[in-house]
Amino acid sequence: MNLRAKLSIYCAILYKFADKILLPKEMGTKLSVNINKIATIRNARGGNTPDVVQVAIDCETFGADGITVHPRPDERHITEADVMALSGQVKTEFNIEGYPNERFMALLKAVRPAQATLVPDPPHVLTSNAGWNTIKEADFLKQIISEIKELGIRTSLFIETDGEMIKKAAELSVDRIEFYTGPYADLFETDKEAAVAPYRDAAKIADACGLEINAGHDLNLKNLRFFRENIPNLAEVSIGHALVSDAIYLGLENTVMMYKRELEE
């Protein structure tokens, strides 16, 4: 019996009992603040206002458990220079997202963040809006994940709720998956139970396969608590657009604290 067959059997058995055998969480669900939008505002005018490094420091002071950036090739928000500057200042977990091309890998080698979140974005997309096809891209991802883990960096794959894709991700030896939660957010206002159901089922599969779970995309103060309550093994959420938008009205310190409260038990 090959490795994939053994892993599929193992996942199936644990999936059956996942409600009773959930992996323990580390200190609850962590909040990583994505500061891309801060850089977008700065770049719209030029100069260094707002200062993305100072905002990252402030978010940590206000209670954020980590800082996330996505340095895209066109540098329309976070730049390579920002990544280098942040690497010396972020004291919590530093998470760098991106498509794993040569440029991205070079940044990881230079910075050695706590986590690298791999996304399948082509260069022209406005925002990450789909997960990896882990079956089709298995050979590519397996090599990349191995290289990143050799650097001592935790790996995460941006992924949707397809069970087979999740099982394949486990075979690739990735540490975590990050659920693309756009579909959840789109459906939440009209039918929140239907919105969360695929993620609840997918989380059981991931948990049974030994994968830790992150989540991100369009999570906000209205839908975050319900998602967290239904994904009891949720390790981390990465939130940027909604949090920065809320901060315009509520203030950054208050907003970070409000999002943290939504993640409390």
Is residue 13 pLDDT above 60, yes or no? Answer: no
Residue of higher predicted confidence among 8 and 116: 116
Going by pLDDT thresholds of 50, 70 and 90, the confidence category of residue 20 is very low
Give 187-215 pLDDT, tens digit per residue. 999 999 999 999 999 999 999 999 999 99
Angle at 121 between CA 119 and CA 122, to 5 degrees: 150
Q: What is the pLDDT of residue 21?
A: 43
Among 264, 209, 262, 241, residue whose Cα is nearest residue 38:
241
Within a domain: 191: yes
* Residue 250, domain extent: 26-262
Q: What is the pLDDT of residue 265?
A: 79
Cβ-proximal residues to 232 (8 Å cutoff; 6+ apart), any chain: 22, 25
Question: Residue 176's CB: how many other CB atoms inside 10 A?
Answer: 19
Judge whether 14 lies within some domain.
Answer: no
Q: How far is CA 76 from its chain centroid?
A: 20
Inside any domain, residue 31: yes
What is the value of pTM for the model shown? 0.88
Residue 129 included in any domain: yes
Lowest mean per-residue pLDDT among 20-29, 131-140, 169-178: 20-29
Q: Which residues of 132-154 are buried (b: 16+ CB within 10 A; e: fewer)?
A: bebeebeeebbebbeebeeeebb
pLDDT band at residue 23 under the 50/70/90 scheme? very low
In a domain, 4, yes or no: no
Among 108, 113, 117, 112, which residue's Cα sits nearest to residue 93? 113
Domains in the chain, number:
1
Q: Which positions are catalytic?
A: 70, 97, 217
Return d(Cα 158, Cα 134) in angstroms, integer: 10
Mean pLDDT computed over 160-173: 97
Q: Judge contact between 258 and 246, C-beta under 8 A.
A: yes
Question: What's the chain look like in SS3?
Answer: CCHHHHHHHHHHHHHHCCCCCCCCCCCCCEEEEECHHHHHHHHHHCCCCCCHHHHHHHHHHCCCCEEEECCCCCCCCCCHHHHHHHHCCCCCEEEEEECCCHHHHHHHHHHCCCEEEECCCCCCCCCCCCCCCCCCCHHHHHHHHHHHHHCCCEEEEEECCCHHHHHHHHHCCCCEEEEECHHHHHHHCCCHHHHHHHHHHHHHHHHHCCCEEEEECCCCCCCHHHHHHHCCCEEEEEECHHHHHHHHHHCHHHHHHHHHHHCCC
The tokens for 205 are 């599969």
In this structure, is residue 114 part of a structural domain? yes
Q: pLDDT of 42-85, one tens digit each?
A: 999 999 999 999 999 999 999 999 999 999 988 889 999 999 99
Query: Which CATH number belongs to the domain containing residue 74 in this structure?
Result: 3.20.20.70
> Token pair of 191, please?
């039918």
Residue 1 belongs to a domain = no
